[in-house]
Structure 1
């Protein structure tokens, strides 16, 4: 019996060591599908917050002052006033889901966004990184990072020109 116990223990140890844990990285998951739907909704100007948890927090180009999902949708609607057209381009989209050492599920995506300013027809293309944390199939955190400099400077220039024109007309 003792002779049989050692080989059984070795087989059990090998079987335990060979068991694969959860997938830590993938490019196909229900969470990625959720983000693709969210991007599609954004492009269609369908501002649906149902993919977000009630307590979700959204951070755009900041780590402070989070927005709720509804506030983020309002942010997008208000920004739409500046554009004749806008949306994420379908080329070169990259998505990945990562399960962290702490057991957190995150979806990262790298996209190109294109907008045409309503005021002057200027087209702007901006690379954007978005990352989303999921809990129980819902987004609980969203972080977005991009360089808005070209748009901000153009809008400031247009505003300055409008003010100058208005001042000249009242003189």
Structure 2
């Protein structure tokens, strides 16, 4: 009799435990992907940057977006970021993000925030000297309601500055 009661309790517990484990696995799968609407949106933002299409670029961001490039304290608005990009590109003859050297992923963190991570290589030719630059970059953008709410960008600007000062050499970050 005791065995029947034990089985009556243990079998439902085992079923619930399996369902919870399956539910957790499904939740984990949804927390990471390399295919999402947010990734597609971020790709369009990156392509707009490459094309100098600042209208599409700015439209990717929410009105209250905060953008932190190589800083944790001083943010830019989307319009200020465009102005900074335009100033920085004045001495660049051509630039692109190398398609064969980029990776993207989307994660939903423990706070249910949606972030898209981008790793790539920015390649540029300096006006006048013809110096070529290859600069590894990392961008991470928080999405909310289909727009970028917050973006962090990390890259080594000293490589760009050195290329602009050097006469006719190609520069890249050395490993």
Separation (CA, whole Å) in 2 of partners of 1:98 and 1:36: 16
1:64 deviates by 1.8
Q: Which digits, 9 at most, give the CA deviation of each residue in 1:104-162, with x for residues without a partner?
A: 1111111111111113111111111111011121101111111111221343567xxxx
How far 1:8 moved relative to its partner?
A: 5.2
Give 1:73 deviation, angstroms.
1.2
Tell me: CA distance 1:90–1:17, structure 2 relative to 1, closer, same or farther (3 Å): closer
> How far off its partner does 1:11 sit?
3.6
Choose 81-90 or 15-24, whichever is displaced more.
15-24
Deviation of 1:10 (Å): 5.1
Per the alignment, residue 170 of structure 2 pairs with none
Deviations 1:45-76 (A, max 9, x none): 11121111111011111112100011111111
Partner of 1:94: 103
Secondary structure of the equivalent of 2:90? helix
Structure 1 segment 121-160 matched on structure 2, within 5 A: 121-156=130-165
Taking structure 2 as the reference length, what is the TM-score of the superposition? 0.80
Secondary structure, in 3 states, of the residue corresponding to 1:91? helix
2:85 to 73, 76, 88: 76
Distance 1:97 1:77 in 2: 28
Q: For 2:21 and 2:121, locate their aligned partners in 1 and report how far apart those are by CA, in whole Å.
A: 42
What's the secondary structure of 1:140's corresponding residue?
strand
Alpha-carbon spacing, 1:12–1:157, altered in 2? closer, same or farther (3 Å): closer
Q: Distance in 1 between matches of 2:63 and 2:8?
A: 54
1:119 corresponds to which residue?
128
Equivalent in 19, 24, 44 of residue 51 of structure 2 = 44
Instruction: State the partner residue of 1:104.
Output: 113
**SS of the residue aligned with 1:130?**
strand
1:15: which partner in 2?
19
CA 1:5/1:125 → structure 2, altered by over 3 Å: closer, same or farther? same
Gaps (5+ residues) in structure 2? 168-175
Aligned to 2:173: none
Cα contact 2:133–2:163 (8 A) shared by 1? no
Q: How many residues align?
A: 157
Q: Kindly report structure 1 stretches of 4+ aligned residues shifted beyond 6 Å.
A: 2-5
